[in-house]
Structure 1
């Protein structure tokens, strides 16, 4: 069974990405799985080409440094020809109404006079990501579940119209992970592309900067360390992060800490230690571009070998080639 997950290089990898997904990929993934960097998805809004290229390389390095099997890592654009062909076939299978009703498209296009067409069609590209690799399981959060359902609809329709080509994918709820919130505004998730980096801990932040950000984290005026997501979101966020880094229950940790200063110091220590090895190994890979290129090329070749027959079959049964 093949599982597929992706990360978009819309910004540097941050703590939430690492604790919520990448660390799990390293622990649970196999060489049959696919973990891809979705650089094509990052082009649905205005982007800087040089920054996109640099962020893509950084994400490849972070995944490998975190322990994800290099054989399962791929960059989306390295299969741009295959994905472009399959996306067109799937767009010819998808209706405008199905694409336009995607919640993310509605939210991101609301109130804007002009949006890129790719913002409308990128769920079809996501379907191509999934179907090209023959993935049966796609771990996703609530914000992407609708896109996996679209992939199922298109696979079923294509298979029913032209012939059985695609494996039917299933969205699965990933293993519970820390709910990492923004340190400056715990009402929102920590995000790579946040306009204010003060509340975001990036994997490649030096230890001193990590400590400064955590020491400045928003708490409250209650003065009691309690695990209370509704009434003390800032304190709860720090407890979640500390628990994720130490493999302890945040509720038990709350009982062992006497105040906010102690909580912040303990969290900072745990985060610095958790990220230390990943940051050092990532930097070593970035300093060795030839090795990074070799790993990336090998991942692309494996993905291409696994998917070529499926694309050729889809082209043939639909009347092309």
Structure 2
């Protein structure tokens, strides 16, 4: 273990960032107050390394606010390292990505004292429930899922029944929506914050929860609800027709939490906008590049799009807009970048956080899986 002073310093830094902007703005209160007390909120991210601005504004920032402002509810946030196996990569790279993912969450302000942070693979009950639920999930339900087709680079109208498709698609990729269902239900989660690309999977989760309950004539699994948060869908800086992504071959379109101020300024300065002069306008169809920058401002400042646009009147040109966006990102990420670097230098501290989270998560999952085994006759 690192010296106690190092652990204490890192823990204090994480708690400081978690509380620095934990109070919701007027705009946020109306959304977050709809979360009933004693709810259990669950979500995960894949370990694909350091997080970017899209991850931060699209998920992590909302996780931080939710867990900081709802003390009567429980929050479980995991690193989906089992799902990461649907893409083959060197073992050491996966190890590095797992550490980078947990360091990213902690440096973004998630407080391990206010939520459970853990690695999915450290709780084997995920995989056990996955098998039980896969046995009641139809091939047709899995075939209709859209994401396995995009990840397998298949057309959205393709089917697993086609010989060429079935040969090109790994079984894990086709079946992973059932594991996602198990991820949610193993904790009897009541709410799941999701984006548009995961809405179909949450609907499958609800369907399978109802099917399990009706098959065994029980009222065991709650039907998880979609949790609406002010998350922002951030697009590529270079191609604002698609989401910001780590897999984008043009990495200038992606801003990472770990980028230096100079790197951030350079990427924002080269962001695709347009040649329209005059009044600023949020129009994702006609002005996608400018609208993406406005959306970033809205996400970073927790202000409505209309208010952001009104405040831009004082900016005379695109350069001024980009400079404004760059400085907001730099200010948001400066302390987080420094803490991220410190955390990666103290992996024993990261291990201790994950052990604590895994123990807590497994305590919940183990009790639930024993009840499931009794219900289906395996006790």
TM-score (norm 1): 0.94
Match of 2:10 in 1: none
The worse-fitting range, judged by mean Cα deviation, of 226-235 and 211-220 is 226-235
Distance (whole Å) between structure 2 residues aligned to residue 48 and residue 196 of structure 1: 23
Residue from 113, 116, 132 that aligns with 1:72? 116
The worse-fitting range, judged by mean Cα deviation, of 163-172 and 249-258 is 163-172
Q: Runs (4+) of structure 1 moved beyond 6 Å?
A: none
Match of 2:290 in 1: 235
Match of 1:94 in 2: 137
RMSD: 1.8
The worse-fitting range, judged by mean Cα deviation, of 203-212 and 46-55 is 46-55
Residue from 56, 78, 85 that aligns with 2:128? 85
Residue from 107, 117, 138 that aligns with 2:192? 138
**Conservation of the 8 A alpha-carbon contact between 1:159 and 1:166:** yes
Residue from 2, 20, 23 that aligns with 2:61? 23
**Conservation of the 8 A alpha-carbon contact between 1:243 and 1:253:** no
Distance (whole Å) between structure 2 residues aligned to residue 178 and residue 250 of structure 1: 14
1:123 and 2:177 correspond: yes
Residue from 229, 238, 261 that aligns with 1:175? 229
Match of 2:36 in 1: none
Distance (whole Å) between structure 1 residues aligned to residue 202 and residue 75 of structure 2: 17
1:272 and 2:327 correspond: no
Match of 2:369 in 1: 311
Q: Deviations over 1:188-224 (max 9, x none)?
A: 1112322221100011112211111111101112234
Match of 1:7 in 2: 45
Give 1:262 deviation, angstroms.
0.6
Give 1:263 deviation, angstroms.
0.7
Alignment of 1:134-283 (within 5 A): 134-164=188-218, 166-224=220-278, 225-248=280-303, 249-283=307-341
Residue from 41, 44, 47 that aligns with 2:86? 44
Match of 2:346 in 1: 288
Q: Deviations over 1:155-210 (max 9, x none)?
A: 22222223537422323142223331100001111123222211000111122111
TM-score (norm 2): 0.80
Distance (whole Å) between structure 1 residues aligned to residue 228 and residue 101 of structure 2: 20
Runs (5+) with no aligned partner, structure 2 = 1-38, 156-164
**Conservation of the 8 A alpha-carbon contact between 1:215 and 1:265:** yes
Distance (whole Å) between structure 1 residues aligned to residue 334 and residue 190 of structure 2: 34
Distance (whole Å) between structure 2 residues aligned to residue 154 and residue 178 of structure 1: 29
Give 1:266 deviation, angstroms.
0.9
Residue-pair matches, total: 320
Runs (5+) with no aligned partner, structure 1 = none
